[in-house]
Structure 1
């Protein structure tokens, strides 16, 4: 279960009517207005696009080749995780490693997959203080728009399994004596 998704697995059905098992429909129970959340040809489904911090009560109906539906499975209830602004269970934190009068190095910026499914490519944004400019980076591709910096994963560090982390770093030039550092890391 993540903030916007969930993976469900159930016991496979068999069809005794002769037209063969074609798949499954997954529904959200909402009184008289049940909503179909998805279909699967196997006894598992990964739901996406769910609302963060929301309770879902779901059930499954088997479907045969003639589109006949079984009765409802027992309902299962789960609650999606709280949305934290870190998007998809990804979080980023930056550490200032070294500073001098007109610059500094931020390393590591740690990118962690706090979700339950793998991330294929990550993007981190943060804000540079006014007058500061990126003068170098490693283990990420950085682009700037105004004072907003966007860091994108490289081909070799973009895939993060659940609970895994990676890092990147960058160097900044700043006006002499200005001691501000970047803030607002989001992933």
Structure 2
């Protein structure tokens, strides 16, 4: 009898897994905080990226650097600046912001167009 054939498991390509984003609060004070987000490319280089998260109650972003902010309700989206949209595979770039309110640890969604 021929040996049974086993089909190797197929891993579907990751959807929306082109990049990951990590968040850290760098400093905080009464009524506000500063944070930094690191965007890391996956197995393929990025040609543009955006990071989205939900602002906690009472938070508002005042200033962003190394990115472009847009907000819709309580959702904040930061897109790459002209000079840091291209990220090599497994490479990373960062952006930062100053916000009003208390620091939190939001869940970030990173996408590459």
TM-score normalised according to structure 1 size: 0.51
> 1:144, 1:114 → 2: CA distance?
26
Match of 1:99 in 2: 28
Match of 2:62 in 1: 135
Cα RMSD after superposing both structures: 1.7
**1:142-161 to 2 correspondence within 5 Å?**
142-161=69-88
Does 1:110 pair with 2:33?
no
User: Which residue of the other structure, out of 90, 106, 112, is the alignment partner of 2:19?
Assistant: 90
> 1:148, 1:127 → 2: CA distance?
4
Distance 1:182 1:147, change over 3 A: farther
Indicate the structure (1 or 2) with the bigger Cα radius of gyration: 1
> 1:88, 1:141 → 2: CA distance?
21
Does 1:184 pair with 2:107?
yes
> 1:88, 1:81 → 2: CA distance?
9
> 2:91, 2:14 → 1: CA distance?
20
| Structure 2 runs not aligned, ≥5 long | 1-8
Greater than 4 Å deviation, 4+ residue runs: none
Q: Displacement of 1:88 after TM fit?
A: 3.8
> 1:82, 1:155 → 2: CA distance?
26
Distance 1:159 1:82, change over 3 A: closer
User: Which residue of the other structure, out of 6, 9, 12, is the alignment partner of 1:80?
Assistant: 12
Partner of 1:184, secondary structure, is coil
> 2:31, 2:85 → 1: CA distance?
32
| Structure 1 runs not aligned, ≥5 long | 1-53, 56-78
> 1:82, 1:138 → 2: CA distance?
29
> 2:92, 2:73 → 1: CA distance?
28
Answer 1 or 2: higher relative contact order, Cα 8 Å, separation at least 6.
2
Partner of 1:80, secondary structure, is coil
